[in-house]
Amino acid sequence: MDENTISNAGRWMLNRRDFLRHGGTGLSAVALLSLLRGQELLADKTPLQWSPEKPFAPRAPHFKPKAKNVVVIFCSGALSHLDAWDYKPELIKRHDQPMPGSAGLVTFQGENGNLVKPIWDFHPRGQSGKMISDLLPNLADMADDFCFIHSMTAKSNTHGPAENQMSTGFILDGFPSMGAWATYALGSENQNLPAFVAIPDPRGVPQMGPNHWSAGFLPAVFQGTAFNTEKGIPNLETPREISSSGEKNTREFLKFLNDRHLAQHPGDTDLSARIASYELAAKMQLSAPEVADLKKESVATLEMYGANDSNKVKAGFARNCILARRLVERGVRFVQLFNGAYAMGEGVGNWDGHRTLKSQYDVHRTILDQPCAALINDLKQRGLLEDTLVVFVTEFGRMPTFQKGASGRDHNPHGFTVWLTGAGVKRGFSYGATDEFGYKAVENVTTIYDLHATLLHLLGLDHQRLNYYHNGAERRLTDVHGEVIRGILS
């Protein structure tokens, strides 16, 4: 070995002091990586792995979640934030005066008249003193449990596209719903019930119907299953002439044939998803009737929800609320509960208060209030709210004016209220604000993309990493937008 080689080799040798110094630096780097990972600041491009043969097998989240389950309560028709949650003294003060700057303003259904104060009076509630109206008194009394976002905005002032955006992130059809994204990412904690259930109102479905629980371009197996206590899952009941042993033997033989057929077509995800959905349907023959059967519920529970009310629609919605709790108890990942159904004309089936807001809302308030409050209280007293996030949404807000020639408020996507309660969010807290009349979000303005990013975050998912390649692009629930609303996190 020549002199130069020895000299160059020596240049790379470490003495004891250098060894200890580099070792300490290395340990610091490991500690930093651990810290970044714990604070969800470390990028990870690893694609999501799922098995078409076992699509609902539990999958690890990106980071430790605050919530294991989600219940979305969707008030179809656009519940007026100004008559429920968003207290505006200036609106009361200037009742029946023109709204400043509104000359010539034309909204969804035409010209607007003067400012109109809330139809129901506002009062301070709970220890927080939050001002909430008498429209929904049972929910108002729970103000200390809620985290209000008063600065939500939507992209459309039309019910259909706005409903689409709230449930799928896009105003156009064909995109996966938030429940489908969540179950695609995380699978299910149970293997006998759907991972994602939609519970339509007793009066029917919202305007965009199955779009709310569609899998869009995700594998079809992640589509939500829609049923309620009035109308069960179609084609699920076993015919009387088939014995339980005969059904079991038939199912086992069918599985043998399906497994052989699937082995001949490896990688065919449509086939594996179809087989998995049939197998789930077979399991649901035993589990689904039980979960929708409320006979084992106590009389006190039924009364708390109003399930035996003389108002048949209210009783039906109350039973749907009990069903939502029973699904969460059994590990269903995502439950979407609808209040209000699509109806033409005056919108009597939902919260679309254009013409006669007072008389319409007097119908709907009694249906929603007691059962919805009971659901949250029931989740709370059973300890389920510690791991469950409840999100109360509607597709957009309402104008602070009445429409000309009518006694109702027109559509308003520029500012409205949603609220959350349960796992991972502050309680008795308000975030963001609309202007002095409740027309436009002006403080900590939020979008539906932000709401979705926050929902996924609480499930332990980074919305920027939850992607699916479709039609030449990496798609996600939040498109290319969205930030976690960290100000509401507990």
Give the CA radius of gyration of the chain.
26
Q: Which tokens is 88 given? A: 């505006």
Range from 4-8, 227-231, 250-254, 309-313 carrying the lowest mean pLDDT: 4-8
- For the chain, what is the mean pLDDT? 88
pLDDT above 70: percentage of residues in the chain = 86
**What is the C-alpha separation between 247 and 252, in angstroms, rounded?**
9
Give the pairing type, strands 147-153 and 69-75.
Answer: unpaired
**pLDDT (mean) for 221-230:** 91
pLDDT at site 293:
87
Judge contact between 157 and 107, C-beta under 8 A.
Answer: yes
Q: Give the three-state DSSP class for 176.
A: coil
Judge contact between 392 and 337, C-beta under 8 A.
Answer: no
pLDDT at site 52:
78
CA distances for 419 relative to 73, 429, 445, angstroms:
10, 10, 15
**pLDDT (mean) for 9-24:** 59
**What is the C-alpha separation between 156 and 160, in angstroms, rounded?**
9
Range from 285-294, 348-357, 369-378, 407-416 carrying the lowest mean pLDDT: 285-294
**Phi/psi at 301 (nearest 5 deg)?**
-65, -45
Res. 345: pLDDT tops 70: no
CA distances for 190 relative to 10, 55, 196, angstroms:
62, 12, 11
pLDDT at site 346:
47
Q: Of the spans 15-19, 38-42, 148-152, 248-252, which averages the highest pLDDT?
A: 148-152
pLDDT at site 4:
54
pLDDT in tens, 77-130: 999 999 999 999 999 999 999 999 887 788 888 889 999 999 999 999 999 999
Judge contact between 427 and 463, C-beta under 8 A.
Answer: no
pLDDT in tens, 167-177: 999 999 999 99
Res. 27: pLDDT tops 70: no
pLDDT in tens, 146-169: 999 999 999 999 999 999 999 999
Q: Give the three-state DSSP class for 328.
A: helix
Q: Give the three-state DSSP class for 178.
A: helix
pLDDT at site 477:
97
